[in-house]
Homo-oligomer: A and B are copies of this chain.
Amino acid sequence: MQRRAATGLRLAGYALNLHQLRFVQEAARRNLNLTETARALHTSQPGVSKAIRELEQELGVDLFVRHGKRLTRITEPGRQMLASVETILREVANLQRIGDEYAGRDTGTLSIATTHTQARYFLPGPVAELRRRYPQVQVVLHQGVPEQVASMLKSEVADIGLATEALAAHEDLVTLPCYEWQHVLVVPRTHTLARENRPTLEQLAAETLVLYHPTVTGRTRIDQAFARARLAPRVALEAIDSDVIKTYVRLGLGVGIVAEQAMREEAEAAGGSDLASVPLGHLFGSNVTRVAFKRGVYLRHFVLAFAELLAPRLNATLLARALRSDAASAVRAAGVDGAGGARADNDYQL
């Protein structure tokens, strides 16, 4: 910095560098623990500490409040600056993505974050088709509960997310409807309910049920429906995935309720299956599975192509329109007009 001052350079405040910003971002994400931050970024802890202090000096304000030698919280300017930092680093990542897009035409990695049901029943077709069209693209599947899907999108671990819940609640994600489904009852083919067209909640409550675990998409709607009818069904077992539920239904533990996608295999099985399914949309309503992206990230063409495979309506033009706006200024604006007021539309209807 000595020399620059001497030669009179220092292009309008660019003693700033991207490493400093990366450190600040990571520190914010990791509860202001610089040791952990340094480990995560494969660098030395003193380096992180120094870089942040220099950045603060450069900007003229502290980003973090320090209690002695410990960082305790983010200052108000720090909070506002973090929004800019997120934008900067996101756009830097976009530069790389655009570079990759034009450099190695059809090579790269498609990283998908999704829930079990989607991964098991919905995605196999689209993924296979993508692999056929873009043999050079490596597909990585990250499985988790909807909140994890959201957070993988936010940290740019995943390019595209697919889930039925939680996604629309995030400011910095853009979500679009993908397909609609309902729950179905799963019973052994010989069960009396197998011939029932529109079973009632009372009929179901008379059985022992095999349900999804409460963390799984749609379980809450089932609970609510029973609660509204003042029914308290017996639950034999709660499972994370549909295959487990089906297995226990086969064993006679009770009747199951799963997403309809999970029964499509049985429905299409040549010669029929040992399990029958009965739609339950009239009891539990219908669900919409949504595709989500992080707002502002550049989508390579194979990501767009994949979205279109998920739902033909999700073409490049529509996505471009949906992804247009930016959340960084919204976050800053929230401070100006009193916290809650600024809420950008992040759910696009078709």
Binds B, one of A92-100, A184-192, A218-226: A92-100
Q: Is the CB of A16 within 8 A of B95?
A: yes
Chain B residues within an 8 Å CB radius of A342: 320-321, 324
Chain B residues within an 8 Å CB radius of A8: 42
Chain B residues within an 8 Å CB radius of A205: none
Q: Is the CB of A333 within 8 A of B325?
A: no
Mask, A51-81, CB within 8 Å of B = 1, is 0000000111100000000000001110011
Q: Which of B58, B94, B321, B336 contacts A333 (CB 8 A)?
A: B321
Q: Is A195 an interface residue (CB 8 A)?
A: no
Q: How far, in whole Å, are A225 and B338 apart by their CA atoms in the complex?
A: 47
The verdict on A325 contacting B316 (CB below 8 Å), with A14-B19, A91-B88 known, is: no
Number of interface residues of A (CB under 8 A): 62
Integer count of this chain's copies in the complex: 2
Q: Is A323 an interface residue (CB 8 A)?
A: yes
Q: Is A317 an interface residue (CB 8 A)?
A: yes
Q: Which of B85, B94, B100 contacts A60 (CB 8 A)?
A: B100
Q: How far, in whole Å, are A99 and B298 apart by their CA atoms in the complex?
A: 29
Mask, A87-120, CB within 8 Å of B = 1, is 1100111111011111110000000000000000
Q: Is the CB of B42 within 8 A of A11?
A: yes
Q: How far, in whole Å, are A93 and B16 apart by their CA atoms in the complex?
A: 10
The verdict on A99 contacting B87 (CB below 8 Å), with A11-B42, A329-B296, A336-B320 known, is: no
A65 to chain B, nearest CB (A): 13
Q: Which among A17, A42, A320 has the highest number of chain B CB atoms within 10 Å? A: A320
Chain B, Cβ-Cβ closest to A298: B332
Q: Is the CB of A102 within 8 A of B77?
A: yes
- For the A-B complex with A84-B91, A320-B336 known, give 8 more contacts whose Cβ atoms are closer than 8 Å: A9-B42, A14-B92, A17-B18, A59-B103, A75-B102, A77-B99, A81-B99, A324-B325
